[in-house]
Amino acid sequence: EPEVTQTPSHQVTQMGQEVILRCVPISNHLYFYWYRQILGQKVEFLVSFYNNEISEKSEIFDDQFSVERPDGSNFTLKIRSTKLEDSAMYFCASKPRTGEREQYFGPGTRLTVT
Amino acid sequence: QQQVKQSPQSLIVQKGGISIINCAYENTAFDYFPWYQQFPGKGPALLIAIRPDVSEKKEGRFTISFNKSAKQFSLHIMDSQPGDSATYFCAASKAGANNLFFGTGTRLTVIP
């Protein structure tokens, strides 16, 4: 069964450094998402991406964040200058097409900012 | 503003018992209500979902009950098993929007 994959599984970085989290959505899915989950808290929406542009973003997704689909398979989240409060699990998700509501999540990347 | 409220925060059930998790929402524009199951260290996995045009949906041991007038929906796990021990999140989304609003999660423990 196709699944969303994410790399790395765990990333440790120093405050102020740039990080790039990578995702490979399910093939032939058209909608892509990033969510985050601070330890012990609920999953929060960051951004959605369709047709090579951001379609929605939350107030968490400020100028420090950016997303990109550099080729036909990868979907990346970049945090330009990490802060301690960026430490969280970051989940990528994808959805097949317009009208379909089910989003399929990857296993996540644990980001630790020290 | 908490769009989706979930209770209880944790739940302990004996094997074979019924687990019930409740969610409530405020935004009447929500029209899709999924439940996700999450094991430690893993991403949320879609378990079952309902639209507001039906009051109940059943898939195996998992049932969603939906009360549109009360703006509430719940997950029932029949014949709960130790393998069901996980965190369960309810969520909601609006037509035309992309993001899911998640509840705060319920940690379920099923005791053998």
A19-32 confidence digits (pLDDT tens): 999 999 999 899 99
State residue A41's pLDDT score: 87
What is the DSSP pairing of strand A109-113 with strand A75-79?
unpaired
State residue B1's pLDDT score: 58
DSSP assigned state of A100: -
State residue A13's pLDDT score: 97
- Contacts of residue A33, defined as CB under 8 A and 6 or more positions apart, other chains included, come to A45, A46, A47, A48, A49, A92, A93, A94, A95, A103, B98, B99
DSSP assigned state of B76: E
Instruction: Compute the nearest-CA separation of B14 from chain A (Å).
Output: 24
State residue A70's pLDDT score: 86
- Structure tokens, B52: 């507001």
List residues of chain A with CB under 8 Å from any CB of chain B. 4, 31, 33, 35, 41-45, 48, 50, 55-56, 58, 91, 95, 101-108
- Judge contact between A10 and A112, C-beta under 8 A: yes
* Mean of pLDDT over chain A: 94
**pLDDT band, residue A40 (cuts 50/70/90):** confident
Is the Cβ pair B99, A101 closer than 8 Å? no
State residue B39's pLDDT score: 93
Is the Cβ pair B43, A108 closer than 8 Å? yes
Strands of B62-67's sheet in order across: B4-7, B19-25, B72-77, B62-67, B56-59
- Contacts of residue A89, defined as CB under 8 A and 6 or more positions apart, other chains included, come to A36, A37, A38, A39, A108, A109, A110, A111
- Judge contact between A45 and B100, C-beta under 8 A: yes
Residue entry with tokens 């999660």: B105
Instruction: Compute the nearest-CA separation of A44 from chain B (Å).
Output: 7
Rounded to an integer, what distance in angstroms lies between the CA atom of residue A92 and that of residue A94? 7
Per-residue pLDDT tens over the stretch A80-89: 999 999 999 9
**What's the rounded mean pLDDT across residues A50-67?**
94
**pLDDT band, residue A1 (cuts 50/70/90):** confident
Successive 10-residue mean pLDDT values, chain B, 112 residues: 88 98 95 94 91 94 96 97 97 86 96 95
List residues of chain B with CB under 8 Å from any CB of chain A. 32, 34, 36, 41-46, 49, 89, 91, 93, 97-105
State residue B2's pLDDT score: 66
Is the Cβ pair A42, B97 closer than 8 Å? no
Rounded to an integer, what distance in angstroms lies between the CA atom of residue B7 and that of residue B105? 8
State residue A73's pLDDT score: 87
Is the Cβ pair A45, B101 closer than 8 Å? yes
Q: What percent of chain A has pLDDT over 90?
A: 83
Residue of B nearest to A48 (CA): B98
